[in-house]
């Protein structure tokens, strides 16, 4: 049984993430998408909401499981019985950070390797941050996130605005 984890914030899941999920799920028996519960960051969506969105957009991929986690990715991978961690690489700007993380993780647990998939070109400049930025000005995000996520982003933003 070959298992991998794909950890990230996914706040919210984008078409770039989904592309990495689809492609990496083809390489393994089971792919576990780990949704990071990071108390240091204030996300747009709660971890439960991010898990739900991911479950919804991956429901047609049978070997993908979505799981919330906190703490270190290597520990999460070990707990899940995964052999490797999947990460996506976009532009060169991702490279230094990702390399640093991968090296650190390998020192912490040499049994778990990190595998990088390069982004499909159309998503090379896409990030969850960009999506939130565009949406905050009422821009069209339908080319960036799955259709079901579009409404949820605007809904959530309106909700937060009303609370202020």
> Known catalytic residues?
17, 41, 90, 128
Please pick, from the candidates 4, 5, 18, 20, the single residue that binds ligand ADP as defined by CB under 6 A: 20
Min dist CB 63 to ligand ADP, Å, is 19
Please pick, from the candidates 8, 34, 43, 146, the single residue that binds ligand ADP as defined by CB under 6 A: 8
Compute the distance between CA of residue 112 and CA of residue 75 in angstroms, rounded to an integer: 10
Give yes or no for residue 25 binding ligand ADP (CB under 6 A): no
From 60-68, 118-126, 131-139, 147-155, give the range in contact with ligand ADP by CB under 6 A.
Answer: 118-126
Q: In sequence order, what are the residues at sequence separation of 6 or more whose Cβ sits closer than 8 angstroms to the Cβ of residue 13?
A: 50, 53, 54, 57, 128, 145, 146, 149
User: Closest CB to ligand ADP among 14 and 105?
Assistant: 14
Compute the distance between CA of residue 105 and CA of residue 134 in angstroms, rounded to an integer: 33
Say if residue 37 is preceded by a cis peptide, omega within 30 of 0: no
Compute the distance between CA of residue 100 and CA of residue 97 in angstroms, rounded to an integer: 5
* Residues touching ligand ADP, count (CB under 6 A): 16
User: Closest CB to ligand ADP among 16 and 146?
Assistant: 16
User: Closest CB to ligand ADP among 57 and 87?
Assistant: 87
3-state secondary structure 80-126: CCCCEEEEEECCHHHHHHHHHHHHHHHHHCCCCEEEEEECCHHHCCC
Give yes or no for residue 9 binding ligand ADP (CB under 6 A): yes
Residues engaged in binding ligand ADP (CB under 6 A): 8-10, 14, 16-17, 20, 87-88, 90, 94, 119, 123, 126-128
């Amino acid at each position: 049984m070959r298992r991998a984890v794909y950890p990230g914030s996914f706040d919210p899941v984008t078409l770039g993430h989904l592309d990495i999920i689809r492609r990496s799920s083809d390489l393994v028996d089971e792919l576990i998408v780990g949704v990071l519960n990071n108390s240091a960051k204030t996300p747009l969506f709660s971890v439960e909401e991010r898990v739900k969105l991911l479950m919804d957009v991956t429901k047609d991929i049978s070997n993908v499981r979505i799981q919330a986690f906190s703490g270190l990715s290597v520990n999460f991978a070990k707990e899940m019985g995964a052999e490797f961690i999947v990460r996506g690489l976009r532009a060169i700007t991702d490279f230094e950070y990702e390399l640093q993380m991968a090296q650190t993780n390998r020192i912490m647990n040499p049994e778990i390797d990190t595998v990088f998939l390069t982004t499909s070109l159309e998503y090379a400049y896409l990030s969850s941050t960009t999506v939130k930025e565009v949406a905050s000005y009422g821009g069209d995000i339908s080319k960036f996130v799955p259709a079901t996520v579009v409404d949820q982003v605007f809904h959530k933003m309106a909700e937060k605005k009303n609370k202020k």
